[in-house]
Amino acid sequence: MASMLAARLIKAGEPLRVEQVPVPDVGAQELLVKVSACGLCGTDLHLAVDGDLPVMRTPITLGHEAAGLIAAIGSDVAGLRKGDRVALFPSACCGACRFCLAGRESLCEVSQVYGMARDGALAEYVAVPARSVMVLPDGVPFDVGAIVTDGVATPFHALRSRGRLRAGETVGVFGCGGLGTHAVMLARMMGAAQIIAVDVNAAARDRAVSVGADLSLDPAEGDVAKHIRRHLGGRGLDLALEFIGRADTVELAIRSLDKAGRAVIAGVGTGRPSLPPLMAFVGREQAVLGSFGMDRSDITDLYDLIAAGRLDLSASVSARYPLKRANDALQHLAAKDGGVVRVVVEPGG
């Protein structure tokens, strides 16, 4: 039986074990993808470093942001060929539930997230349902194509699908790591009039300004909501995006809203944020929305923008590691020194 190298989670919170495992079999409706690039994100840190997210089983291969080449095709798969460039939707969706049929794959009722419910792409090969891949345009490099599937598509979904950003609106981004940095870039591309970045890390704030933020604020240096209103001439934000997942930052994002403002919460955590007094919240017609992941259309539309030269993500890959150094890659991301947007593992490198 043919074997391959894979980075396996044996126990939550412990280093991955990079070892030889069998190349996965391919079912009739599946593909075998030779992985060219796999991005790492906060979810991987929660699994492999912090140990505070559940997995369906162990051992399991991590990695849900991936792109590569089709190496084998199941007998019932049509429309794809060996050698095609593809990217993985971050979870294996059913394609048949009410949400998938409506194009809202982020809410698929039976989805299996790679690296949590089924083996992921921190490996030389990964087996995936054919319906879970998207063709990667020739103009999109594998590393960029990989990180788009989550690190860029998640903030795009929050801005466009959930936040309904309109040109000329004011936007606040709370948390300027990889997701927040891309949110700033995308909000600028989508026509935001003013973008305010909020983060405790000076390097992250500086980076946010370099990619399009008009102002950066440190929450340790005063009342952010008051600073925002002072900068906007007494108004609050039309749209606030929270990418941290803490109760206090969610509450801060809501307090920073203008009348009819929307707060979109994409950060995931265990806190229980409070709403403002109902008289103020209801009377100002404000909204608080959850935003989970992305839909296929978010990813494919971003690929079209990149291929057309409208969106440049060449600086978003902060570091590249071979698969044998997957743990070093995770530690690089975990350092959170403000200089990292996305770290990519290249199994063929």
Any bridge partners for residue 107, and if so which? none
Q: How far apart are CA 295 and CA 80, in angstroms?
A: 21
Token representation of residue 330: 């995770």
Q: Which residue has the tokens 């993500």?
A: 313
Q: How far apart are CA 126 and CA 24, in angstroms?
A: 7
Peptide bond into 59 cis (omega under 30): yes
What's the burial of 297, exposed, middle or buried (CB within 10 Å: 0-12/13-18/19+)? middle
Question: Is 43 a known active-site residue?
Answer: yes
Could you tell me how many helices (H) and strands (E) the chain has, helices first?
A: 11, 18
- Among 43, 61, 181, 249, the active-site one is 43
- Buried b / exposed e over 322-343, threshold 16 CB at 10 Å, is ebebbbebbebbbeeebebbbb
Token representation of residue 290: 């959850």
Question: Is 227 a known active-site residue?
Answer: no
Give yes or no for a contact between 146 and 275, defined as CB atoms under 8 angstroms apart: no
Q: How far apart are CA 23 and CA 18, in angstroms?
A: 14
Q: How far apart are CA 3 and CA 9, in angstroms?
A: 18
Q: Which residue has the tokens 């941290």?
A: 244
- Active centre residues (catalytic): 43, 46
